[in-house]
Structure 1
């Protein structure tokens, strides 16, 4: 044996000292693969795993976003090592000389100044690494090094099978850096030089993932679809099903995504992945309104959850799927019991919030509000849930039209919420509520003053006597509370401090970390000084959460009184009825202005109800109440128009009254025209027949056969009310009306075009023409019945001869504009002789796809 050993050693020495160097292609594939893995490639895998582990530790699910991601980073395969477990990650870390603690505090390649990183890090191979490089850049560099050093190509084919892993790691590190095109370049090498490798489907999965990240969903889904048609290994199918489902979701294909999530749930055996897949599927189904199926998914998510947070959120989502038709009492009892068990008790605030949502869906509004308030009393485990509880209470106030209360709780919700999209939406709603609140209480205040002004002197005295009696009771109760507080204060800061067993030589509890001055609240002087300073800085604040966010008075009642203009400061004469009666205005002009301001505010309030909250019933009621109090004509017309326009399609019976008032009392207004014939702005593409009819009507206009052109247009619009040329026909009709009936009628029709077709080119042109016609030209004004109204203050007005009551004035003589631009323009009855070609004339075959002509 000794001889043999000596001979073997001699042979090795001779071989090693040989000057002959083999070409790289002649090296052993086995040795190449061995060296690749146990040198550079191992380091690349370890760097990538360090990044995934670090990201997983910092990962926190946002359960309020539309969807959670399925994969946390610890679930990612490294290269082609599918089915990775956390045990593998720990082993690789230990082999590299890095434990989890070191990884979390000193991640190789992370820049200095980041949490847990030193200025200089050590690479797994022992070299000092540049502190500016990231872990993913290290993984990329190591993978490239492995490829450059150990690649073996013969006849265009890669012989070293470990190089496949190197390219996958290279693609992964580039994808997670956002270098999608570079990742595709790396994968193209695999497709070109490793065509027979059985792991090619995995490369195609990452290729599809790169395209999906680039938002090229069509290319991504084509690759996924082709993979699905092939027979894949179970490991490849696991990865593919997850990425494919998320790609479909990103592309907005929710139905297909649900089917793929079903498949992903089936093929993945890992409990954590199954739980996350089920939760995501539940989110998608709930968004689609499929509550029963969503409930099943969330139940599966709860069943497989291996994380306490996931268990709690799954339970809450299960509660959200309650549709109000099931066993509410049973579901309520279950949640109340589970919220008291063990660690679940720390999440009571979240369970109470979920119970409130269930009660709302069951129609138990009062019970729901009680649960939301209970949620606020419990310890906060999730700030977003606390904000949502405030929001739900605010909604309850809003449903009762209590805008001060709603605004106060919405402010608190804004402070507590952490999910930014929800905060932005709520901020808009909060601003809307403040605007509505301002109008609402302004109207209420003016209504009160106007009502009091109508009372007789005895009625006023009786009214304020009752008010004074209630005020005395309120003040007596407040005085009793104040005295009780004073007695308690004296006990706490006097006798208690002197006789307490905790009393010491310093006269109270010691302050920690400061000079020994005694317990702060045991010293009356320091307390009173602190209270005064606080009031000077912050003013009066209620004892409530989020007191810094916005100034709150002592109570919501005080805030309402302030909005109504009720003076909270005591007055020596506050118990005399005469004190209040003297403040009621008696001047007719002042009372008239109060009503005018109140009516304008009511109009704005009705419009805001519709525009801000789409509350058509409340908006309609508010505006009809305004109509009933007979506001001035301008406000009346606008209110009737708003009622009609928001109801005539969906609630024609409700809009009928507004329509009749407009047509009967204001027949010669653009609003009445709109009520007679409201136009639909959703047009279909113009037909050849209508185009030919339009040409004929335009030809009649050019021949100055205005009445015939007008009659033809009326027939076309009646026959084809949704044709794309209707706005253009209406504009031509306005010119016909101007020639036959005068400028006033033309202006009336142009105003109707602006109302009906505001967003069309014809609507914009009509608006321009109205600005021109109303700027310099003066004409005889008429009232809503069509009667001439004299205007002696207008020197340019020429007397309107021949007009009769109830008729539209004919052949008005209109003063021409004084500007030079229009001085020589030929006119007929003040209307331009011929419209511009671009305004009316239609070029054949020039109607664009959207249906509007040039």
Structure 2
């Protein structure tokens, strides 16, 4: 009876507590049910999400930085789960995707994070115990943290901050509040409010934290600093994180990220030490290999290249590392390139291509490095072909897109480059006398005979060895098997391999995965590709690969040389135009201003027609006058000396400037003096003072006014045409200023067509046929012309200092003219 009564009493108490408001609930019973009921389900849902992300996670070693935390282990400082970088998509199920139907007892289509959020909210609502405005159920803290994490991972950062703020108010005396502040900083960091995040993290760093909390803080703080672009501070915080964390895998990832940042800062020796630590602590084979590749990238000519090369070559032959030979050869190629051993580097990159593919991105990077070698040697067709191959196999999209754009630019440059070479050769041959031509082509024929003899010997050798077994039965061959015969890609006992379409399809896919798309040819790994590139190059140079019966006769080539002046002029114009385009491309596409300048100066020395000459000189001056004035000086002097009355010369005198400073008092005095001289018709003295002022104050706010005054002086001394050129340049350079507007108004008048009208001595207009002389001795201006001249004089008078001097920053802001680049 007592047992029955006890059960009834206990049930009554439980029912009574369940119905009570938060202020009247039992702390003990609420805590017990919170831990083993709804909160358990919330944590379980969140950990399910983390487990799936962990299983799907794959590091992207080609992005600028890796994430420190992965999804395989519990986060430091909490039993809920890892929490870094969950907004990143992964290779498997995307974060936050839906559960299967009826999973966790929820409706079909709900995501795991939504379930965790709902369960956490339910826990807070049902089991909260409030006394005097404070939460007395300790387990509610975990519910709020679970709620905040779920929302952060769903991208609901404001809602997460709201939950954390409520927690800090209701449990302000709880010793676990530093953990809530860490997640508060993380939410701000996810919102890109790095100032607020750093303020929170810095405050926590200076407080007395538990070791587990300090581990979590160091990681989040370092990543936030890095995202904010504070790389030096991030390196220091990563060093702290490396020391405070004891987990080997975590230490390895921290060291790897620190190495990436140091390498970006140009600190190769320190970066190598970090990557060596990453390799030392790595517990993942992929991580070990990539660490070795990064170590190789940090070597240069001052380091022990030979020792590092010997080490890498050694480990590439050991055990499972042998399956990654292509990656180690790529790393060796980078080391050799950094040490200045160009030929050796190219050899390693080719060896990387010859090995079985373990990482398509590495294969693409090897193609890229070979192509870059050709690009540096001006072999643009070969460079373009290897860049194409790199684009076709790369897996990291940002690099692939950039490389595709560069490939297109190389192809454009190649067309100009080989056109210039071809036309240069034709023009040089046309300038030779007959004896020189015969000597030149005799040598060419001798080289051609030697080349064909070598090819014939190779063909005979191949015929003699034809039929002998030359197959590749190494462990890397796709046809290798344990018994030394063809691998049976189909089911056993199904007959001849090539009769099984399924097996052939699988074998073809495997071949393409390893070697890429290859044409059917002998020595297809390399020789066929180079042969086709040579054919393309010859075609671009106008050389035929077809064996003509007369190819050993000098007359066969001499007959093709153009002799008439029209053909030679056409060749020269095409060459000069292509050279101009090539110089501009070097600067615009590859940012190689020195090579662009040299190419354009070579064009100038060949004396092209005036239009091309002016454009070349303008490009040289425009790309150099700010950063390398010495390189632009020759172009400027040619423009000012040989083409003084062109808009290009005006640009050289007064290039665009969008960075004017405040007006200088000396410049104001100079302007007043020069304007006074202009009004007194002392034009030469005024012009000299204006030119001196422009040279002394190139960034003064009065530069546009000096330029406009100079144009007015030119109109008085050199005529209408020169004035128009200078006004056009002012309208272009200062289009958003008052001077630019005035220049445009004056140009409209100066360029307008005014018909000449004849008048008698009294000013009456004479009509045709009234004995009007064919060539009058003098023309009296019409009333309209007088009005136009009066308008121009008014425009000139508007330049007086009282109305015109710009010395305020407000007027300066109107100057917003971009430079050419």
TM-score (norm 1): 0.78
- Counterpart of 1:130 in structure 2 is 107
- Counterpart of 1:36 in structure 2 is 34
Secondary structure, counterpart of 1:260 in structure 2: helix
CA distance in 1, matches of 2:9, 2:499: 92
Taking a change above 3 Å as real, the CA distance of residues 540 and 150 of structure 1, as seen in their structure-2 partners, is closer
- Counterpart of 1:397 in structure 2 is 374
Please state how far the C-alpha of 1:236 moved relative to its aligned partner.
1.3
**Are 1:827 and 2:804 counterparts?**
no
- Counterpart of 1:94 in structure 2 is none
Give yes or no for contact 1:737–1:746 (8 Å, CA) kept in 2. Answer: yes
- Counterpart of 1:355 in structure 2 is 332
Please state how far the C-alpha of 1:29 moved relative to its aligned partner.
1.2
- Counterpart of 2:563 in structure 1 is 586
- Counterpart of 1:665 in structure 2 is 642
- Counterpart of 1:210 in structure 2 is 187
Structure 2 unmatched ranges of 5 or more: 84-90, 470-485, 501-516, 756-773
Taking a change above 3 Å as real, the CA distance of residues 78 and 680 of structure 1, as seen in their structure-2 partners, is closer
**Are 1:560 and 2:537 counterparts?**
yes
Please state how far the C-alpha of 1:741 moved relative to its aligned partner.
3.4
Please state how far the C-alpha of 1:642 moved relative to its aligned partner.
3.2
Moved more, 314-323 or 642-651: 642-651
CA distance in 1, matches of 2:14, 2:181: 44
- Counterpart of 1:412 in structure 2 is 389
CA distance in 2, matches of 1:84, 1:518: 53
- Counterpart of 1:610 in structure 2 is 587
Taking a change above 3 Å as real, the CA distance of residues 278 and 81 of structure 1, as seen in their structure-2 partners, is same
CA deviations on 1:598-647 (whole Å, 9 max, x unpaired) are 11211221222222223233223322322222211222233334334445
Taking a change above 3 Å as real, the CA distance of residues 195 and 558 of structure 1, as seen in their structure-2 partners, is same
The residue correspondences of 1:582-661 to structure 2 (distance < 5 A) are: 582-647=559-624, 654-661=631-638
Please state how far the C-alpha of 1:563 moved relative to its aligned partner.
0.8
- Counterpart of 2:259 in structure 1 is 282
Give yes or no for contact 2:218–2:237 (8 Å, CA) kept in 1. Answer: yes
Taking a change above 3 Å as real, the CA distance of residues 712 and 467 of structure 1, as seen in their structure-2 partners, is closer
Taking a change above 3 Å as real, the CA distance of residues 122 and 646 of structure 1, as seen in their structure-2 partners, is closer
CA distance in 1, matches of 2:577, 2:491: 61
Which of the residues 292, 316, 329 maps onto 1:339? 316
Taking a change above 3 Å as real, the CA distance of residues 415 and 676 of structure 1, as seen in their structure-2 partners, is same
Please state how far the C-alpha of 1:581 moved relative to its aligned partner.
3.0
Superposition CA RMSD, Å: 4.4
CA distance in 2, matches of 1:199, 1:256: 27
Secondary structure, counterpart of 1:289 in structure 2: coil
Which of the residues 210, 218, 234 maps onto 1:233? 210
- Counterpart of 2:201 in structure 1 is 224
Moved more, 459-468 or 336-345: 459-468
Secondary structure, counterpart of 1:847 in structure 2: helix
The residue correspondences of 1:316-395 to structure 2 (distance < 5 A) are: 316-395=293-372
**Are 1:174 and 2:151 counterparts?**
yes
CA distance in 1, matches of 2:562, 2:93: 77
CA distance in 1, matches of 2:648, 2:611: 11
CA distance in 2, matches of 1:303, 1:650: 46
Moved more, 292-301 or 23-32: 23-32
Give yes or no for contact 2:231–2:261 (8 Å, CA) kept in 1. Answer: yes
CA deviations on 1:645-698 (whole Å, 9 max, x unpaired) are 445566555555444444443344444455567676543333466567657867
Give yes or no for contact 1:453–1:586 (8 Å, CA) kept in 2. Answer: yes
Structure 1 unmatched ranges of 5 or more: 1-5, 86-103, 112-116, 493-507, 523-537, 780-797, 802-811, 817-821
Taking a change above 3 Å as real, the CA distance of residues 703 and 249 of structure 1, as seen in their structure-2 partners, is farther
Give yes or no for contact 1:725–1:853 (8 Å, CA) kept in 2. Answer: no
Please state how far the C-alpha of 1:152 moved relative to its aligned partner.
1.1
CA deviations on 1:73-97 (whole Å, 9 max, x unpaired) are 2345499437989xxxxxxxxxxxx
Please state how far the C-alpha of 1:428 moved relative to its aligned partner.
2.2
Taking a change above 3 Å as real, the CA distance of residues 290 and 325 of structure 1, as seen in their structure-2 partners, is same
Secondary structure, counterpart of 2:62 in structure 1: coil
- Counterpart of 1:61 in structure 2 is 59
Moved more, 279-288 or 451-460: 451-460
The residue correspondences of 1:135-534 to structure 2 (distance < 5 A) are: 135-475=112-452, 477-478=454-455
CA deviations on 1:60-80 (whole Å, 9 max, x unpaired) are 111111111111123454994
Please state how far the C-alpha of 1:555 moved relative to its aligned partner.
2.3
**Are 1:847 and 2:810 counterparts?**
yes
Moved more, 43-52 or 566-575: 566-575
Please state how far the C-alpha of 1:475 moved relative to its aligned partner.
4.5
Give yes or no for contact 1:108–1:135 (8 Å, CA) kept in 2. Answer: no
- Counterpart of 2:7 in structure 1 is 12
Taking a change above 3 Å as real, the CA distance of residues 224 and 517 of structure 1, as seen in their structure-2 partners, is closer
Please state how far the C-alpha of 1:583 moved relative to its aligned partner.
2.6
CA distance in 1, matches of 2:749, 2:317: 75
Taking a change above 3 Å as real, the CA distance of residues 568 and 823 of structure 1, as seen in their structure-2 partners, is farther
Taking a change above 3 Å as real, the CA distance of residues 590 and 107 of structure 1, as seen in their structure-2 partners, is closer
Please state how far the C-alpha of 1:179 moved relative to its aligned partner.
0.7
- Counterpart of 1:790 in structure 2 is none
Please state how far the C-alpha of 1:330 moved relative to its aligned partner.
0.9
Give yes or no for contact 1:45–1:79 (8 Å, CA) kept in 2. Answer: no
**Are 1:726 and 2:721 counterparts?**
no
Secondary structure, counterpart of 2:714 in structure 1: helix
TM-score (norm 2): 0.81
Give yes or no for contact 1:753–1:763 (8 Å, CA) kept in 2. Answer: yes
Q: How many residues align?
A: 756
Please state how far the C-alpha of 1:191 moved relative to its aligned partner.
1.2
Taking a change above 3 Å as real, the CA distance of residues 573 and 602 of structure 1, as seen in their structure-2 partners, is same
Please state how far the C-alpha of 1:53 moved relative to its aligned partner.
1.1
Taking a change above 3 Å as real, the CA distance of residues 19 and 80 of structure 1, as seen in their structure-2 partners, is closer
CA deviations on 1:566-604 (whole Å, 9 max, x unpaired) are 233444544444443333222211111111111121122
Taking a change above 3 Å as real, the CA distance of residues 559 and 164 of structure 1, as seen in their structure-2 partners, is same
CA distance in 2, matches of 1:845, 1:48: 61
Please state how far the C-alpha of 1:392 moved relative to its aligned partner.
1.0
Secondary structure, counterpart of 1:721 in structure 2: coil
Taking a change above 3 Å as real, the CA distance of residues 815 and 764 of structure 1, as seen in their structure-2 partners, is farther
CA distance in 2, matches of 1:545, 1:261: 48
CA deviations on 1:380-439 (whole Å, 9 max, x unpaired) are 111111111111111111111111111111111111211122122212221221111101
Give yes or no for contact 1:724–1:851 (8 Å, CA) kept in 2. Answer: no
Moved more, 615-624 or 138-147: 615-624
Give yes or no for contact 1:29–1:159 (8 Å, CA) kept in 2. Answer: yes
Taking a change above 3 Å as real, the CA distance of residues 281 and 661 of structure 1, as seen in their structure-2 partners, is same
Give yes or no for contact 2:349–2:367 (8 Å, CA) kept in 1. Answer: yes
Give yes or no for contact 1:553–1:559 (8 Å, CA) kept in 2. Answer: no
Give yes or no for contact 1:29–1:152 (8 Å, CA) kept in 2. Answer: yes
Please state how far the C-alpha of 1:45 moved relative to its aligned partner.
0.5
Give yes or no for contact 1:826–1:833 (8 Å, CA) kept in 2. Answer: no
CA distance in 2, matches of 1:107, 1:602: 52
Secondary structure, counterpart of 2:180 in structure 1: helix
Please state how far the C-alpha of 1:517 moved relative to its aligned partner.
9.8
Secondary structure, counterpart of 2:169 in structure 1: helix
CA deviations on 1:339-362 (whole Å, 9 max, x unpaired) are 111111111111111111111111
